[in-house]
Structure 1
Amino acid sequence: MSATPRWQDLDRLIHEPARLMIVTLLYAVEEADFLYLLHETGLTKGNLSTHLSKLEEAGYVRITKTFRGKIPRTLVALTPEGRQAFETYRQRLSHLIHPPIQGDP
């Protein structure tokens, strides 16, 4: 990252509003059920699935399909890489919003 914060330095995959919402929700928990994410984000099933697939392809989330009795259940969790990517995203965004003052350490 350059000394001067730039919008181009933000992770574009995370910066997309729906994916930012998903990653933010997952950052606060160990894992989340697909239906919980569906409810909290307000996305459609197809839209949520598409965004989760993109995050999974990037290695940011792990998706586990299980059953509770005979009912299918999809669990989603941030990977260590996803957690680190979100922390880096937050730090860079913070520097864009509150840039360091010239001469600050």
Structure 2
Amino acid sequence: MEELDPLLHQPLRTQLVAFLAAAGEQTFGELKRQLAVSDGNLDAHLKKLLAAGYLSVRKEQGGSRPQSFYALTESGQAALAAYIHALQQLLPLADPHSESLPALRSRHA
């Protein structure tokens, strides 16, 4: 069984990466609005995802202050796909009628 990516296994980071996967490049302000989080909370999670190479950032000067645009990288897309696959492997275990449940129990006994 695949291990869940601990970086993506945090709810806000999961939501952030999933949102960017669907919406494409987004500004900091739009991410904050869509995810309903504080500046500091969003910034902390973005920094972790950037450090892991899951996101890229593009800075653009416009108007009175610069804008930051965030997008999922190829590495981030692959990590999200692997995370979803690992979750899908776990779902049958939640079903008490699953045929894979006895096999898993016998492996860990």
Deviations 1:14-45 (A, max 9, x none): 11011011001011122111111000111100
Distance 2:59 2:17 in 1: 19
Q: Deviations over 1:50-100 (max 9, x none)?
A: 100000000000011112233321100000000000000001101101358
1:56-95 to 2 correspondence within 5 Å?
Answer: 56-95=50-89
Counterpart amino acid of residue 98 in structure 1:
P
1:49: how far off? 0.5
* Percent of pairs with identical residues: 34
In the alignment, is residue 19 of structure 1 matched against residue 16 of structure 2? no
Q: TM (normalized to structure 1)?
A: 0.83
Distance 1:15 1:34 in 2: 21
Unaligned runs of 5+ in 1: none
- 1:9-48 correspondence runs (5 A): 9-48=3-42
How far off is 1:101 after superposition? 4.3
* Structure 2 runs not aligned, ≥5 long: 101-109
TM-score w.r.t. length of structure 2: 0.80
Kindly indicate which of the two structures has a greater share of residues assigned to helix: 2
Alpha-carbon RMSD across the aligned residues, in angstroms, is: 1.6
Q: Which residue identity does 2:5 align to in structure 1?
A: D
Moved over 6 A (4+): none
